Amino acid sequence: MEQKKVVIIGNGMVGHKFCEKLTAKSTLFQVIVFGEEPIRAYDRVHLSEYFNGKSAEDLSLCASDWYRKQNITLHLNDPVKEIDRINKTVHSTRGLTVNYDYLILATGSSAFVPDIPGIEKEGVFVYRTIEDLKLIRNYAASAKKGAVLGGGLLGLEAAKALMDLQLSETHVIEFAPRLMPRQIDSAGSLMLQSKLKELGLCIHLNKGTSSIDGNGRIESLKFNDGSELPADMLVISAGIRPRDELAKLSGIEVGTRGGVIVNEYMQTSDPDIFAIGECALFDHNIYGLIAPGYEMAEIVANKLCEGRDRSFNGFDMSTKLKLIGVDVASFGDPFTTEPDSRTIVFEDSHKGIYKRINISNDGKYLLGGILIGDAEAYNMLLQTVNNKIILPQDPEDLILGSRGGASQTEVGGVASLPDDALICSCEGITKEAICHAVTEEGCETVDTLKKCTKAGTGCGGCVPMMKDLMLHTMKLNGKYVRNVVCEHFQLSRQELYDLIKIHNLKKYEHVLDNLGIGDGCEVCKPLVSSLLASLWNDMILKKGNDTAQDSNDRFLANIQKGGTYSVVPRIPGGE
């Protein structure tokens, strides 16, 4: 059978996922990929880790020879400039002309850059690609005060990046009256704002930027209320715009506010051209998360390989992330649009915790909610919403914990989920698939589960639930389950405590030599130090014990990017 030719425009996460799905289902296609960037597809979800020492290669989604092994032709640093729909060809910037049977638009989105006077000045950046991050890192080396325009998810992620670069001040400027206005309510935003201020972030709300001033490079920002903020650099993170230019030029229908219009099978107005990811507009919505993009890729791969009409019916936009050390999550309907509903709120301003759940008026169903400061229950709450699980008699237990001797199964747990419950929404992996991998494939660690099922390899938010389900399934299968400290100590905390006491071990190195393997890690080192301090009443920073501590804790100082340390002297009376 003659191979059909599939051309993919875009080598981002969704374009790469489509390649995976298509080649896994069929070898009857000749696949050609055009990428705009000079490097192959990488993990944009964890892009900020580039500032923590990860390289472009570390973030890559595949090995350097993966495309060759899959018989995929990859053209990097060569964006497509024209689509000829009549002759079914594409023309690249470097002069290549390639014909297609099916064309996949996976062009993603670009950063929205507002039209502000001075936006073109040196020191103004966007936050989208590894190349952007390289420019930001290099410029930050000589900057002291940084600002981020935008207080949404991406804006706070960019602010975390500037803080990691050790700028003396980092400011977030948000036009709306609260942070993350699309995900959390006013009370949750106040709690988040308070926590972020404690961590050293400066937040400015209700601020419209009127100009960016400076002599050739940014020196300050002026606002509509007349105030001014000195800044050495500015990162724009004010939203995204779908990359639909090619579609427009070729006469494919696009939305009035951008985005390539698609049907439930991700087909555009040209049935042989599909759009997936952030460039696709479905039912007037652009889906800016990775999970719906992966779902779109799966639908198109099914359509081309099997002709099956699996359809896209929208996607849950629940999110969970750690913003500058603070857990933040929203799920289901966080703001309660249902007329017959009620809200339960728990707030602890001292600990910085805010929890809100919205339930049906009869108390049977969870509709959505918001978690700030403690998002441990997020995965289970999300599954409760998605699977319409009947709530316990006291729904407040979902955020307060079980009371009065209630068992875990009475207030919900991973065991109570139906077999078709999605554990990993990024990869579409169900509870049944996880249990099968544990029972039939012998997966008894999270790493082997990831390799076998690909669950947990996207955003990573499902990993705690994966582990709980794995341990639960192992117990059901009669396996002995132990909660060990880490890979270096195959012991529980209590077992380690008892053995340290029995062997009279008083230094971390002696504990590792006698009871562990390897060099230790950030999990076991502070834990062992704590056990030694509890057993022998020695200071954790006593000579001989101090090597188990992080550098900042060991020297009671904060290491700077130049290798020096900043110290706040201790003064009697605290003056």
Element (H, E) at 223: strand 220-223
β pairing state of 233-236 and 124-126? parallel
Question: Does residue 407 register a pLDDT over 80?
Answer: no
Question: Does residue 560 register a pLDDT over 60?
Answer: no
- Dist. CA 511–CA 2, nearest whole Å: 64
- One domain for residues 280 and 355: no
In a domain, 570, yes or no: no
- One domain for residues 184 and 262: no
Question: According to the model, what pLDDT value does residue 549 have?
Answer: 57
Q: What percent of the chain is predicted at pLDDT more than 70?
A: 89
Average pLDDT over residues 290-306: 92
Q: Which of 83-92, 94-103, 254-263, 370-379 has the lowest mean pLDDT?
A: 370-379
| Nearest to 323, CA basis, from 397, 237, 384, 400 | 237
Q: Which tokens belong to 135?
A: 């420019």
User: Which residues span the domain enclosing 278?
Assistant: 4-108+241-306
SS3 readout for 357-370: EEEECCCCCEEEEE
Give tens-digit pLDDT for 433-455. Answer: 999 999 988 888 888 888 899 88
Tell which wins on pLDDT, 561 or 434: 434
- One domain for residues 327 and 290: no
* Number of domains comprising the chain: 5
Q: For the stretch 2-19, what's the b/e string if a residue is b when 16 or more beta carbons lie within 10 angstroms of its beta carbon?
A: eeebbbbbbbbbbbbbbb
- One domain for residues 51 and 101: yes
Domain boundary among 365, 391, 410: 410
- One domain for residues 330 and 294: no
| Nearest to 205, CA basis, from 180, 239, 170, 226 | 180
Quick one: CA dihedral 154, 158, 161, 166, positive or negative? Answer: negative
Report the side by side order of strands in the sheet with 209-213.
Answer: 209-213, 220-223, 228-230
In a domain, 486, yes or no: no
- CB-count burial class (<10 Å; 0-12, 13-18, 19+) for 140: buried
- Dist. CA 279–CA 103, nearest whole Å: 14
Q: Are 419 and 430 in contact (CB under 8 A)?
A: yes
Element (H, E) at 212: strand 209-213
Question: Average model confidence (pLDDT) for the chain?
Answer: 87
Give the pTM.
0.77
3-state secondary structure at position 244? coil
- Dist. CA 528–CA 510, nearest whole Å: 11
In a domain, 575, yes or no: no
- One domain for residues 80 and 225: no
> Which of the four pLDDT bands, split at 50, 70 and 90, describes residue 59?
very high
- Dist. CA 375–CA 369, nearest whole Å: 11
